[in-house]
């Protein structure tokens, strides 16, 4: 089983994230994509960051009924802040027969050299990168374990969704209907 890990705060999840997750799950050799919701860092609490379980629940609603994509709370129980290498090590021990792949945008691979133990990540895990037009992905894309994909991109961000909600503006089509319903019912981001 080859699993793609798509990390983020997903505050909230939007169609830009879902398009990437679905692209990677269906057009590469990955069997599934796990959307890994990063927990709040208790030392850096941000008022605009919704609770861990609220964000997880929104990802669950967004991916419900899609067997290729699932929400993951794996980092909630790990020491914070969660470093990707530690999460990967933990997952590999917990699921020894699975192969884990990192999914990231060209913006993230460009700064991967600043991550904890990034050489260990590059040596031991494949990384599937999708291009982001405003970012030069840097030289790490040349590594054998890094594969670059041209996925369709939506110019949309969670920041824009939160701003729209604060201003009472519509977020229809930017976020799945089930997620909008839950945001409204729970008065998130408003
Ligand atoms: P914010 O606006 O709050 O910074 P975001 O929408 O960028 O949030 P994150 O939770 O940071 O969302 O995103 C998770 C991952 O998805 C990150 O690696 C980010 O680079 C990527 N991502 C975010 N928006 C898009 C998008 N529109 N298309 C492709 N990838 C995206």
Q: Does the predicted TM-score (pTM) go above 0.75? A: yes
CB atoms within 10 A of CB 7: 19
Closest residue by Cα to residue 141 from 186, 109, 97: 109
Pocket of ligand 1 (CB under 6 A): 8-11, 16-17, 20, 104-105, 107-108, 153-154, 156-159
Bridge-based pairing state of the strands 126-130 and 99-105: parallel
Helices 177-185, 52-63: crossing angle, 10 deg rounding: 150
Q: How far does the centroid of ligand 1 lie from the alpha carbon of residue 109, in Å?
A: 13
Dihedral pair phi/psi, residue 9, rounded to 5°: -85, -25
pLDDT tens-place string over residues 126-185? 999 998 887 787 899 999 999 999 999 999 999 999 999 999 999 999 999 999 999 999
Domains located in the chain, CATH noted: 2-153 (3.40.50.620)
Residue 53 has pLDDT above 90, yes or no: yes
Mean pLDDT computed over every residue of the chain: 95
Q: Give the pLDDT confidence score for residue 144 in this predicted structure.
A: 95
């Amino acid at each position: 089983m080859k699993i793609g890990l798509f990390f983020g705060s997903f505050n909230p999840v939007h169609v830009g994230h879902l398009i990437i997750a679905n692209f990677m799950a269906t057009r590469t050799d990955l069997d599934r994509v796990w959307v890994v919701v990063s927990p709040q860092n208790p030392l850096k609490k941000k008022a605009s960051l919704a609770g861990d379980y609220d964000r997880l629940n929104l990802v669950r609603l967004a991916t419900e009924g899609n067997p290729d994509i699932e929400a993951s709370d794996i980092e909630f129980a790990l020491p914070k802040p969660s470093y990707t290498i530690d999460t990967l090590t933990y997952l590999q021990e917990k699921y020894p027969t699975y192969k884990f792949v990192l999914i990231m945008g060209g913006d993230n691979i460009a700064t991967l050299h600043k991550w904890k133990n990034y050489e260990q990540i590059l040596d031991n895990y494949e990384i599937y990168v999708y291009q982001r037009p405003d970012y030069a992905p840097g030289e790490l894309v040349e590594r054998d374990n890094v594969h670059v994909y041209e996925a369709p991109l939506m110019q949309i961000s969670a920041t824009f969704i939160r701003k729209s909600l604060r201003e009472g503006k519509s977020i229809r089509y930017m976020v799945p209907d089930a997620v909008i319903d839950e945001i409204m019912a729970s008065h998130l981001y408003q």
